Amino acid sequence: MYVVIAGGGKIGSNIARTLVDMQREVTIVEQRRDRFEQLEAEFGHSAMLGDATEIAVLERAGIARPPDLVLAVTGDDEDNLVISQIAKEGYGVPKAIARVNDPRNQQTFDLLGITQTVCATSGLLALVEHEVPEHGLVRLLELRQEGLEVVEMQITGDSPAAGKRVAGLSLPEGARLVSVTRHGVGEIAVGQTVIRPGDQVIAILKPGLENQLRRALVG
Amino acid sequence: MRAVIIGCGRVGSAVAKELAGEGWDVTCVDEDENALTRLGAWKGGFVVGHGMDKDILETAGAVDATAAVVATDGDNSNIVIGQILQRRYSIGCVVVRILDPARAEFYAKLGLHTVCPTQTAISTLTEAVRACETGIVRQVTG
């Protein structure tokens, strides 16, 4: 397995270290000389100095082989988009994963066909949302390509679902309960599972049904 | 006819003035509010902000624009903004300045209308030298 990593900051260098430990072949490209020198000290000839949005630099990194995976993890969203596009559309790289720095740019990655993205800020925001569940519904996982998402809700004494069996709930079409967690112990939700105040329930649903699901469960 | 110009530097501002002079309804977008001074006595639109920002593009009139010129000082920003204007707003005429000839050629193949001043300079300079050479040869043989 051959992996090209564009961007040698904290994310890129840690991934490179892990892949090298796993005996994978890696090239990590960094344009800042100070960072490159640190990478070179650690990774030797697997580190490369250059701007990974330049086609000649990518070619020196072996983009034409092509690699099994390209990771575009620089601190610049435009650069990550361009690197991913050149890799996928120019050299037929089977898989390119891009880092999204500004969550507002997520829609641009989607628009330009860069479907595999990772956004640390969105992940952190989801955790903050989890700690401050203002809307009663927290998104745990978004399966954008599959058109599904996994959410969590907190049941209170006032919730319409409190005291009911799962089979007796009128959930919207396209939503299903996955599990019920009580006192820190999770159980798979089945028809006979009774929902109690204080429970955390996890559901899988099609995007857009969040409000209907929330009304049915937590009110 | 409405045109949006992303990047109001030396190139963007000059294109904006040319088009406005020909009767286009032109709006410029630049991150730097001082870029407005490049436009002189400007009657067109001017929006301060980044061309990757959806709200900024829509304020500038991307939704009903017939043409767009993207000429910020960043090649990769231009490439991305050009594709946004082409794909999200279906603007038929999107022209993107890319300084790096290799990227300009690559994105031209992907269907983006790219203009590469570097390539133009390379060709013009090479041609100029060839012309001198012909002159020298003529002098020698003549």
| pLDDT tens by residue, B17-63 | 999 999 999 999 999 999 999 999 999 999 999 999 999 999 999 99
Cα–Cα dist A57/A50, whole Å: 6
Q: Give the CA angle between residues A179, A181, A183 to the nearest 5°.
A: 165
Give yes or no for residue B139 having a pLDDT over 80: no
For residues A69-84, give the mean pLDDT: 97
List chain A residues with CB under 8 Å of B106.
55, 86, 90
Confidence of residue B15 (pLDDT cuts 50, 70, 90): very high
Smallest CA-to-CA distance from A15 within A6, B104, B121, A148 is with A6
pLDDT computed for residue A99 by the predictor: 96
Tokens coding A148? 């599904």
Smallest CA-to-CA distance from A139 within A150, A128, A131 is with A150
For residues B124-137, give the mean pLDDT: 86
pLDDT computed for residue A133 by the predictor: 59
Among A30-44, A121-135, A147-161, the least confident range? A121-135
pLDDT computed for residue B142 by the predictor: 58
- Taking the CA of residue A55 and the nearest CA in chain B, the distance in Å comes to 7
The residues, ordered by sequence, that sit 6+ positions from A160 with a Cβ below 8 Å of its Cβ are: A215, A216, A217, A218, A219
Tokens coding A9? 């900051």
Using an 8 Å Cβ cutoff, are B68 and B95 in contact? yes
Confidence of residue A122 (pLDDT cuts 50, 70, 90): confident
For residues A150-163, give the mean pLDDT: 90
pLDDT computed for residue A43 by the predictor: 97
Query: What rounded mean pLDDT belongs to chain B?
Result: 95
Confidence of residue A135 (pLDDT cuts 50, 70, 90): low
Backbone angles phi, psi at A17, to 5 degrees: -60, -45
Task: Assess A84–B contact: CB distance below 8 Å, yes or no.
Answer: no
Report CB contact under 8 Å: B74, A55: no
Query: What rounded mean pLDDT belongs to chain A?
Result: 92
Exposure of A53 in the CB half-sphere (CA atoms within 13 A)? 24
For residues A186-206, give the mean pLDDT: 93
Confidence of residue B103 (pLDDT cuts 50, 70, 90): very high
Report CB contact under 8 Å: B106, A81: no
Give yes or no for residue A127 having a pLDDT over 80: no
pLDDT computed for residue A192 by the predictor: 92
Confidence of residue B83 (pLDDT cuts 50, 70, 90): very high
For residues A150-164, give the mean pLDDT: 90
Report CB contact under 8 Å: B103, A82: yes
Give yes or no for residue B1 having a pLDDT over 80: yes
Q: Where are the beta strands (DSSP E) in chain A?
A: 2-6, 25-30, 47-49, 69-72, 96-99, 117-118, 137-143, 148-154, 175-182, 185-188, 200-205
- Taking the CA of residue A75 and the nearest CA in chain B, the distance in Å comes to 13
pLDDT computed for residue A195 by the predictor: 93
Report CB contact under 8 Å: A54, B103: yes
Cα–Cα dist A202/A150, whole Å: 7
DSSP class of residue A171?
A: P
Cα–Cα dist A78/B10, whole Å: 22
Can you tell me the ipTM of this complex?
0.89
pLDDT computed for residue B92 by the predictor: 94
Report CB contact under 8 Å: B75, A76: no
